[in-house]
């Protein structure tokens, strides 16, 4: 079934592309997060001018001894777990093939997707007849019955002698 093989291959390619696109998006998100965390840790370790100590007439100066230096904000240490993980290069994971972890399918999935066509025997007992017996019977059949017989034979046993006889009789009926 070449159509099913093509459909399966198209699905595999689509899944591979989607997985690779997801990996690329994840890599980009890691890089952005790493830059954001780096920026955040730098801004915490270097206080801005708006975080300067209060003026000498403020409430802290009244409670602090006159010889104590003004209080400054200390940098907040960042925990080791918050540091960004090293980002893999995109080329490291793009060229790898997919690894099958598990396979599963619904019952009947091996038969193929979509509708199924079943062709009934053109007459009762057709499947048990020999090619000679079928050819003898074809002489009395209508063109419609010959077409059904041809379809059934091509789909099941595909006997050349029967198919040639049906084609000969259909051609004779058409002229």
The number of CA neighbours under 13 Å toward the Cβ of 62 is 3
Q: Same domain, yes or no, for 104 and 151? A: no
Q: Same domain, yes or no, for 75 and 157? A: no
Q: Residues 112-133: pLDDT tens digits?
A: 666 778 888 999 999 999 999 9
Q: Same domain, yes or no, for 80 and 142? A: no
pLDDT at position 104: 75
Q: pTM for the complete prediction? A: 0.37
pLDDT at position 150: 94
Query: Which regions in the chain score pLDDT beneath 50?
Result: 49-62, 64
pLDDT at position 87: 57
Q: Same domain, yes or no, for 90 and 28? A: yes
Q: Same domain, yes or no, for 91 and 41? A: yes
Q: Same domain, yes or no, for 33 and 91? A: yes
- State the total domains in the chain: 2
pLDDT at position 97: 73
Instruction: Determine the structural domain holding residue 89 and report its residue range.
Output: 2-48+68-111
8 A C-beta contact, residue 162 and residue 146: no
Q: Same domain, yes or no, for 102 and 150? A: no
pLDDT at position 146: 93
Query: How many Cβ atoms are within 10 Å of 148's Cβ, its own excluded?
Result: 19
Q: Same domain, yes or no, for 88 and 147? A: no
């Amino acid at each position: 079934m070449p159509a099913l093989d093509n459909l399966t291959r198209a699905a595999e390619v689509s899944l591979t592309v989607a997985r690779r696109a997801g990996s690329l998006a994840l890599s980009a998100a890691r890089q952005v997060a790493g830059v954001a965390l780096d920026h955040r840790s730098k801004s915490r370790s270097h206080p801005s001018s708006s975080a300067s100590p209060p003026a000498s007439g403020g409430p802290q100066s009244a409670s602090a001894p006159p010889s104590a230096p003004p209080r400054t904000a200390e940098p907040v240490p960042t925990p080791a777990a918050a540091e960004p993980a090293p980002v893999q290069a995109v080329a490291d994971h793009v060229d790898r093939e997919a690894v099958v972890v598990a396979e599963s399918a619904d019952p009947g999935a091996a038969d193929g997707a979509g509708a199924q066509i079943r062709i009934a025997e053109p007459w009762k007992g057709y499947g048990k007849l020999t090619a000679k017996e079928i050819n003898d019977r074809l002489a009395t059949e209508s063109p419609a019955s010959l077409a059904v017989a041809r379809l059934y034979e091509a789909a099941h046993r595909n006997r050349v002698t029967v198919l040639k006889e049906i084609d000969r009789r259909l051609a004779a009926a058409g002229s």
